[in-house]
Structure 1
Amino acid sequence: MLPPDEHSVLGDFNQTVFASEGITATFSKRHSNYIITLQDKGQTREYAVHYTFGFYPLQQYLLDIGNGKLQAFDIAWDSRPRDQGGQRWFYPNSNHSNDPASEFHWTRHLNNWNSRCAECHSTGLDKNYDPASGQYQTRYQEVNVACEACHGPAAEHVRMAQAGQLQSKPRAGLTTHFAPPLSFQFKQNAGIARAPSQTTAKTQQAQQINACGGCHSRRQIIGEPDPARPYHDQYRLTLLHDPLYFADGQIRDEVFVLGSFMQSKMHQQGVTCTHCHDAHSGDIKIQGNGLCSQCHAGSVYDTATHHQHKADSAGSLCINCHMPATTYMGIDPRRDHSFSIPAQPQTDAPNACQQCHQEPALTGPNPATEFGILNSRARKSDALALRAMSDYINNREHPSIRRATLLDLASALPARLTVETLAQQLQSGDALMRRAAVNASQVLPLDMRWTVLSRHINDASADVRFSIAQQLAPALPHLASGDALVLQTLLAEHRAQLAHSNDLPGGLASLAAIELHTGNSNNAITTLEQALAIAPDYLPALLNLAAIYRSLDNNEQEHHYLKQALSAHQDNAAAQHAYGLFLIRDNQKAQAIRHLRRATEAEPSQARYFYVYAVALDAADQTSAAIDTLQVANQRWPNHYDILMALVQYLEKSQRKAESWPYLSQLSAIAPNDTAVRQRIDQLKQQE
C-alpha cells in the first residue's frame, strides 16, 4: 500500500478506457493526481486514487467514498508481463456486479479497506470506527507493512542504533526476536530429516505463527494484535469447514495458508515459515525441488521411482503434486500448504493428479483421504460416523486442526459418545481442541453445560474463553447471583473481543446475540440495525430481527424483516424456510408449503428443512409426498434420526409398514436401545 506516484502506480492512466456491462471507466492523470472517471446509467463521477494496493500479479486502487471509507475499486490492473496475458485492466472478482445494491459492488462492505484490508497491509492500525454514525477516522503508524508489524515496538532498538550499541547485538531492543530457523538433520541414512530438538523447533514455530499467522490465516481478531503474544489470544482461527475448505482439508476459498499448514506433517514436526520463505521478501529460499530436499532426501524423493514422471518435467516438481494451486482474483494462484498426498476419489475434493491426468492411479493409505471421508460424513451429521470421529479426535497423532474440525461438527450429533469426547478434550493442552470441545457442549442441556464449562471459565486461551462466553451466555438469567457475577465478568471480556469486529456485519450480529441472551432486546435490535446499515441485505441480521420481533409479539415487524430477507435472498434456503414457518403460524398453510418446498430446493439446505417440509405435507394430507421428500433427505443426510423415524411413521400411516424395514434397520444401528424402534421391529417380525 503506497501513495500514488510515478513509481507506485503500475496501471495505464493515459486516458485508457475500460468498458463492461454498461459501465465505462476512464483512467487518466491530471497534474500529480491519478483519476478514475466512472460513467454509469447516465451519471458521471470522478474519483482520485488515494493509494495503490498490491503490486503483483495485480494492483488495485483505493478510492474515498466519504465517511472515512476507502474502497478497493473493482477494476484492477493486471501487472503480469504482456506475454502472460497481463498489462490490462480487468475485473478480479468473477462475482462482480454493477448493481450498487449487490454486496459485491465496489462501494459495499466487502471491498472496504478499513475493515477488511488495512489491519494486514499497514502498521499500527487504529480503525476508529463509530457504529452509531457508520464513520471511520482510521489512522496508522506506517502506511505499509513495516518492522514493528512483526517485531513489535522498536523505540529501544532505535535508541540503541542511534547510540551505536547494536554492533554486537543486532536484534537487541526488539520486543519479538526471531532466531535463525533450526536446521533439520538427516540421521542414520533416513530419507527425512528431523529437528535435533523438538522442543526448540516447536518453540520457534510458535513464535513465528504468533507473528506471521495473524495476516496469513482466515480468522477473526479477538485481541490487540501483538507479535509477541500467543496466536490464540489475538485471533480466532477458522476451522476446516465448508465452503472454505474441501472435505479433505484442501483450500477452496481464500484462506491465507495457516489453516492449511497446520494440517501438515511439517507443522507437526516443527517446521517454520522461514525454513522455506525469506521473512522480509516472502520469496522462497531455493527454487525447484531443492527447497523440499532440505528435509526430504533427493536420492529418495527426487526420483522417478517416487514421483513417477520424467526428470525436469512439470510432474517431477514436488509442489505440483503436494501443493496444488487454486487461482483467486482471476489471476493470482495460491498453493495449498497442507502438503498432502493427492487425494483418492472418495471425496468431493480436487485431485492434484487430475491437473494433468483424467484417471489418477493411486493406491495405499492416505491421511487426507481418511480425514476427508470422516469430515464428509460429519458434514452430513451422519450418526454412524460418530465412533470413528471420536477415535480420530482422541488420536493425538492427527493434526489438531483436523481433530478440532470433527469435534466442532460433533455438536450436531447429541450422544453419550459426543459428551465423553468433549469432556476428554476439555483437558487438552491444545487451545484449538479445548475450543472445539466447548463448541460441542451445545449438545448439553443448559444447566449441565454450566456445570461442565464453569470450571473452565478462566481458561488460559482468549479463544477458548470466547467460545465459553458464547455457550454460557443463555444461562445468565438462570444463575444464582454469585455465578451470575462470574459470568458477567466473562461476558464483559467477550464484548471487548467482539468490539474488534464492530465494523463487520458478522461481528455486530454476534454482539447482538450476547445482548439478547442477557435480556437486552432493545440493544440487540439497535446492534442488528447497525449491521444492516453496513450491509442492508445481511441475512443473519434480517432473520434475527424477525425472530426478536416474534418474541415480542410484533407480527408486523417480524413480517417486514422476513419479506426483506426473502426479497434479497430468494434462492437462499434459510430465508425460504423462515418465511414458510411464518406463514404456518399465520395459518396460510398452502402458501407456507410452497416456501418450505423452496427451502429444500435451495442452498444451503439442511436436513431439518426437509423434515419440516415433510411434516407440513403430511398435515395437508399429502403423506405420500412427505414420504418421497424424506427419502430424498435420507440420501443426502443418511442416518438422521428424525428423518428416519418420520419415514417409518408415515409409511405406517399409509399402510406401507413392510417398506419401513431398511429405515428401521438404520434406526437400530443409530439408536439400538430406543424403545420405539425396538417395538416397531418386534411388531414387524410378528407380522411376518
Structure 2
Amino acid sequence: MTVQESANQTPQDRRGKSWLQHLGKVAGPIVFVVIGFAAICIWLTIDWYSSALSDEINPVYVGKKKCTECHQQEADKWTGSHHDLAMQVPTEESVLGDFNNATLEHHGVNSTMFRRGDKFIVNTEGEDGEMHDFEIRFVFGVEPLQQYLVEFDRDMLQPENEVARLQVLRISWDTKNKRWFHLDPPDVYEKLEPEDDLHWTGVAQRWNNMCADCHSTNLQKNFDPQTNSYHTTFSEINVSCETCHGPGSVHVELAEAKSLFWDREHGYGLPKLKGKDPATIERQIQSCAPCHSRRRIVHPDFSGGNNFHDHFAGEPMRPETYHKDGQIMDEVYVFGSFIQSKMYHKGIQCTDCHDPHSVKVKYDDNRLCTSCHQHPAKKYDTRAHHHHKPGSKGASCVECHMPETTYMAVDHRRDHSLRVPRPDLSLKIGTPNACVKCHLEDDIAPSAKLAEERKEELHIKQYIDWVRLAYEGEKDVQKQLDTLNTWANEAVLKWYPDSKHRGMHFGEALHSAWSLSENANDDIINLFDDPDAPAIAKASALIWLDPSRSSDALEIILASLKNPNEPQLRVAAILALQNYRDIGSNKNPYTTIRNHVIPLLNDPIRSVRTAAAQVTSEVPANFWPTGDITSFQNALEELEKGLMVNNDRAATHLTLGSIYENLGQHAKAENAYRLAIQVEPNATGPRSNLAELFTRLAENIARQYQQNPQQAPPNLRERIQDYLLEAENLRQDEFVNFERDASYAPENAAVQYRYGLALYRNDQLDEAVKVLRKVHDLEPRTPVYMIALSRLLQTTGEYDQALKIAQKLIEIEPQHQGFVEELKEQIKKQGAEQEPTPRIDSSEG
C-alpha cells in the first residue's frame, strides 16, 4: 500500500484491517492446533484399530524371567515363597534333610540317607522288597516338611526335558523339629508291603498323577498306556507367575508393541484377577481353586482366568472327607470349605487375607480379621465377645472360627469355612467344635480321660481322632466327648443367650443321609427349603437322594437340574439320576432322563455337559430325539478328552468301558477294560467288567442263532466257549483282588458287597451268605444290598429269612412287591412238599 493510499484510509478502515491482521495472527495457531489435534485423533484411531489382535489368539508360556523384566517387586515377594519352592532340583541349598549317614527305622526297615559325591542317596526298601540305593531326583516342598522324589523307568534315549515315573518317598524331613520320619497313610499302622498301592513305589505315591500338576507350571503328563511310560514335561519346575495369570505371550506382545493402547478385545492380554466386582472376585477364587480343592479333571489345560467348572468338577462333601456339618476331616485343600462360608457369599476373596505373591497371610494376629470387621469399637476383639484372657490362644479369632487339623503328621491346616462354634450341634450329630478342641485335655474343662494304653491302642493323636472314633462307635470315647460337649454348650448358652446360631443346620440333613436314616429322603428334601444352605451342601445331599422313593425327591432333583447359578448342583442332580428308570406300564423307562438330562448336553458349562453325556449314554439309540445326537457326540468327545488326562489310572478306562458298553460298542469296551488291566494290574474292577462283557456276548450270540440254528457260522460253539472260558479265568483272577480289598476294608459295605458277589459267582454260597449278612448289618436300609441277600437266601432255599428282608425292602421300594409274592409262593410250595404223604397199607382192598 502506498503512502497516499494509507493517508486516504478512514479510521474505520484502519480498525477493520487491524482486526483482520490480529485475527490472522490468532487463527493461524488455532488452525494449526486443530489440524494437529485432528491428526493425532486420526493417528490414535488408526493405532487403536490397527493394533488390535485377532479374536482367535493362542497364548503360550514365556517364563518367569520375562515377567520379572517389568514386575520386579512382585517377583521379589514371590522369591522364597512356598510357590517358588514347591519343587526343586537337589542342591546343597535346596535339600533340608540330614544326608550325613542319618538312619531311620520303621517296621523293621532300616533306611540310610547319605551323600555320594554331589548326589543325595537313600538306601531303603524298593518295589521288589529288597534294599537298594535310590538317587534323589527332585525335592518337594519346604515347610513344614520336605519330601524326596526318585525316578524310575527312565529310557536312555528320553529327552532331557522329560521326566519319567517319579515316586515320592514316605521317608520325609520334619523341617521344624529337624528329624526324619516315615509319613504313614491315614489310618494305616502296619508295614506296607511293596505290592501295596500305598507303598512309596505304588501308584498312590506317584508324582506324575498325584502331585505334579499343582507343583509345577504348564504340566503335561504325557503318559503312553501302550508302553506304560511317562514323558512328563513342564515349562517351569515350580508354581510360577503363569500358573495363576495364565500364559503370558499375548501380554508381552502388547506390552512391547509400539502402540499406546492395550488391546480393545483382550485388554492386558491376561485375565483380570484384581478388583472388587463380583465377576473378578469369582475369577480370582476360581484361579486358586484347582490346586486348593478336591476335584476331578473334566478337561485339560486349565490356566488362570478360566472357568473352574469347565475344567474340573468339585468333589462334594463325603463321610470320608468332611464332618457332617462341613468341617474338614481329610485333606480337602480349602476351596470346598471356603465356598460354604458366609465370607465367600459376601464377596471375600483369597487376596483379602493372603498376599498374592508371597502367599503369606497379611497379619499374624487378630488384625487379619478386624481389618475388615471394623464394627463398633472392639465389638469382637474384646473379652466381652470371646470371654478369654486378651492375648491368649482363646482370644484369637482363628482359633475359634478357623480351627486347625494336622495332616501329613506335621502340617497344621485351618478350616476355611469360617464358622461359629456349635457345641449344641456336636451333641446332636457328633461333629467337632472349637471349644472342645482347645479344652480337650486341660484343667479348665471336665477333660477327656482315657488310659494311655487305650489311647495308644486307638492311635489317638489329636482331637479329630476322638471325633472319628466316636463316629465309629467307640463307647468310651463317645462318653468323654459327650461330657465335654455338654460343658461347652452350657458355656456358650451362658455367654451368648441371644445367639442366632442355634437353628437348623445342613449338617443335620447330611447326618441323616450318611447314617442311612429312614427319614433321610425327607430331611434332604427339607434342606432345599433353606435359602442360606450353601450349594455344596445341597449338592452333597443330592447324591443320597433316591428319586425312586417319592415324587417329591424326583421333583427336587429335576428342579436342581435347572439351577442356573450352581454348576455343582446341576452335576449332582444329573448323577442322582444315573441308573434311574421310570416305572409305569405306559411309560418308557428312560423318559425322565430323555426329557430332563439330554437338554443339558448343551449346557454352557463343560462339567455339566460331560456328566450329562455319561448318564444319557444309558438311553437306547431308538429313544433319542434326532436333533440331540450331535450334541451327545460333542459332549462325549469332551468327556473322553477329560478322562484321558488320567489315562494312567484304571478308573479312566473302566468308566470309558462302561460308557462304550452302554452304546453297544463292544470292541471299544473290551479295549478299554484291557487297558485298565495293563496300566494298573492290581486294580479291582476291570477283569470282572470284562468277564461280564464276555458272558453277555456269549449269551447274545447263542440267543441270536437259537431260532435259526441253520444260519449259525461253523465256529459258533467255539466262539461261545472261548468267551465263557475267558470270562471264568478273568473272574478267578479278579477274585484275589476282591478278597484282598475285603481284608483291607472290613467295615466298608460296598467293598464287602462286591466280595460277597464274587463268592457267589465262585460257588462259595455259605461264605457269600455270611458276607452279605454282614453287609446288610452295616447298611440295613440299602435296597441293592437287601435284594442281593434276599435273592441269595432264596437260592439257598432259606425262603423265610429271604421273605423277612424282602418285606422290609418293599417298605422302602414298593415296586418289589412281586418278589415278595414269589417268595410266599415258594414257602407255600415248600411247606406242601414237606407234608408227610399218607401211607397206603398193603393189606387194604
When the two structures are superposed, what TM-score results if normalisation uses the length of structure 1? 0.82
Q: Give yes or no for the alignment of 1:435 onto 2:571.
A: yes
Q: How does 1:22-421 map to 2 (within 5 A)?
A: 22-39=108-125, 43-67=130-154, 68-80=164-176, 82=177, 86-94=178-186, 95=188, 97-158=191-252, 173-179=268-274, 182=276, 200=277, 202-223=278-299, 224-296=301-373, 297=375, 299-343=378-422, 344-345=425-426, 346-355=428-437, 356-357=439-440, 358-359=484-485, 360-361=488-489, 362-363=492-493, 366=501, 370-382=505-517, 384-411=519-546, 414-421=549-556
* Structure 1 letter corresponding to 2:667: N
Residue 521 (structure 1) aligned with residue 666 (structure 2)? yes
Larger radius of gyration: 2
Does the residue aligned with 2:306 lie in a helix, a strand or coil? coil
Tell whether the 8 Å contact from 1:537 to 1:568 is kept in structure 2 after alignment. Answer: no
TM-align CA RMSD: 3.6
SS in 2 for 1:25: strand
Structure 1 residue 609: Cα displacement: 2.3
Instruction: Indicate the SS of the match to 1:333.
Output: strand
Once the two structures are TM-superposed, the CA of residue 65 in structure 1 deviates from its matched residue by 1.4
Pairing partner for 2:598 from 431, 439, 454: 454
Q: Is the 8 A contact 2:193 2:199 kept in 1?
A: yes
Could you tell which deviates more after superposition, 86-95 or 54-63?
Answer: 86-95
Query: Hey, what's the Cα distance between the residues in 2 that align with 1:353 and 1:503?
Result: 45
Q: Partner amino acid for 2:370?
A: S
Is 1:544 paired with 2:689?
yes
Q: Is the 8 A contact 2:327 2:417 kept in 1?
A: yes
Moved more, 132-141 or 362-371: 362-371
1:382–1:639: 8 Å Cα contact kept in structure 2? no
Alignment partners' CA distance in 1, 2:280 and 2:382: 32
Change (3 A) 1:258 1:575: closer
CA distance in 2, matches of 1:542, 1:601: 28
Cα distance change on mapping 1:236 and 1:35 into 2, 3 Å: same
Q: Which of 554, 568, 577 is matched with 2:740 structurally?
A: 568
Offset of 1:369 from its aligned partner? 6.0
Check whether the contact 1:123–1:140 (CA below 8 A) recurs between aligned residues: yes
In the TM superposition, what is the alpha-carbon distance from 1:563 to its structure 2 partner?
A: 1.1
1:511 corresponds to 2:656: yes
**Residue 560 of structure 2 corresponds to residue 425 of structure 1:** yes
Letter in 1 for 2:612: I
**Structure 1, residues 201-243: CA drift from partner, whole Å, max 9, x if none?**
x223211122111111111121221212111011110011221
Given candidates 581, 585, 599, the residue that maps to 2:775 is 599
Q: Distance in 2 between matches of 1:208 and 1:630?
A: 53
Q: CA offset at residue 651 of structure 1?
A: 13
The Cα of 1:174 is off from its aligned counterpart by: 4.6
User: Is the Cα contact below 8 Å between 1:71 and 1:111 reproduced in 2?
Assistant: yes
Query: CA separation of 1:318/1:7 partners in 2, compared to 1, >3 Å: closer, same or farther?
Result: same
Q: C-alpha distance in 1, partners of 2:205/2:552?
A: 44
What is the SS of the residue equivalent to 1:409?
coil
* Aligned residue pairs, count: 627
Secondary structure, aligned partner of 1:252: coil
Q: Distance in 2 between matches of 1:154 and 1:308?
A: 51
Structure 1, unpaired ranges of 5+: 183-199, 656-688
1:90 maps to a residue whose letter is: H
**Against the structure 1 CA distance between its residues 525 and 303, is the aligned structure 2 distance closer, same or farther, given a 3 Å change threshold?**
farther
1:638 is displaced (CA, Å) by 13
Distance 1:378 1:34, change over 3 A: same
Cα distance in structure 2, aligned partners of 1:103 and 1:132: 21
Secondary structure in 2 matching 1:284: coil
- CA deviation profile, 1:172-198 (whole Å, cap 9, x unmatched): 845123325x4xxxxxxxxxxxxxxxx
* Whole-angstrom distance in 2 between the partners of 1:371 and 1:258: 18
**Whole-angstrom distance in 1 between the partners of 2:336 and 2:144:** 23
* Residue identity in the other structure for 1:49: I
> In structure 2, what is the Cα distance between the partners aligned to 1:231 and 1:459?
15
Q: Is the 8 A contact 2:687 2:731 kept in 1?
A: no
Secondary structure of the structure 1 residue equivalent to 2:775: helix
Q: What per-residue deviation string (whole Å, max 9, x for no partner) do you get for residues 629-684 of structure 1?
A: 799xx8xx9974479989999999999xxxxxxxxxxxxxxxxxxxxxxxxxxxxx
2-side partners of 1:125 and 1:622: how far apart? 58
Please give the alpha-carbon distance, in whole angstroms, between the structure 1 residues aligned to 2:564 and 2:823. 49
Structure 1 residue 482, shift from structure 2 partner: 5.0
SS of 2:122 mapped into structure 1 = strand
Shift of 1:412: 5.9
| In 1, Cα distance between equivalents of 2:815 and 2:419 | 36
Give the Å deviation of 1:109: 1.1
CA distance in 1, matches of 2:338, 2:320: 18
Partner residue, 1:616:
792
| 1:562–1:578 CA contact under 8 A, matched in 2 | no
Q: Are the aligned partners of 1:264 and 1:339 in contact in 2 as well (CA < 8 Å)?
A: yes
Show structure 2 runs of 5+ residues with no match: 1-86, 155-163, 441-483, 494-498, 583-589, 699-723, 828-845
CA distance in 2, matches of 1:596, 1:385: 23
> After the TM superposition, which residues 548-559 of structure 1 pair with which residues of structure 2 at under 5 Å, given as runs?
548-553=693-698, 554=724, 555-557=727-729, 559=731
| Counterpart residue number, 1:474 | 618
Percentage of identical aligned residues: 30
Q: Which whole-Å CA distance do the structure 1 matches of 2:358 and 2:191 have between them?
A: 35
| Cross-structure match for 1:7 | 93
1:684 paired residue number: none
Q: CA deviation at 1:61?
A: 0.7
Q: Deviations over 1:408-439 (max 9, x none)?
A: 32246542112222222222222222222222
Would the aligned equivalents of 1:23 and 1:98 in 2 still touch at CA under 8 Å? no
**Mapped contact 1:543–1:578 kept (Cα < 8 A):** no
Rounded Cα–Cα distance in structure 2 between residues aligned with 1:368 and 1:465: 37
Matched-pair contact (CA < 8 Å) for 2:546–2:576: yes
Letter in 2 for 1:339: L
The question of whether the paired residues in 1 share the 8 Å contact of 2:780 and 2:786 is answered with: no
Give the conservation status (yes or no) of the 8 Å contact 1:543–1:575. Answer: no
Give me the whole-angstrom Cα distance separating, in 1, the residues matched to 2:389 and 2:821: 61
Question: How far apart are the structure 2 equivalents of 1:560 and 1:101?
Answer: 19
- Higher mean displacement: 102-111 or 601-610: 601-610
Distance 1:149 1:604 in 2: 48
1:464 and 2:608 aligned: yes
How far off is 1:506 after superposition? 2.5
Cα deviation code 1:392-423 (max 9, x no counterpart): 22544321111222223224654211222222
Counterpart CA distance in 2 for 1:308 and 1:618 is: 64
SS at match of 2:196: coil
Partners of 1:108 and 1:436 in 2: CA distance: 31
Secondary structure at the aligned position of 1:539 is classed as: coil
Verify the 8 A CA contact 2:106 2:182 in the aligned structure 1: no
C-alpha separation in 1, matches of 2:131 and 2:171: 16
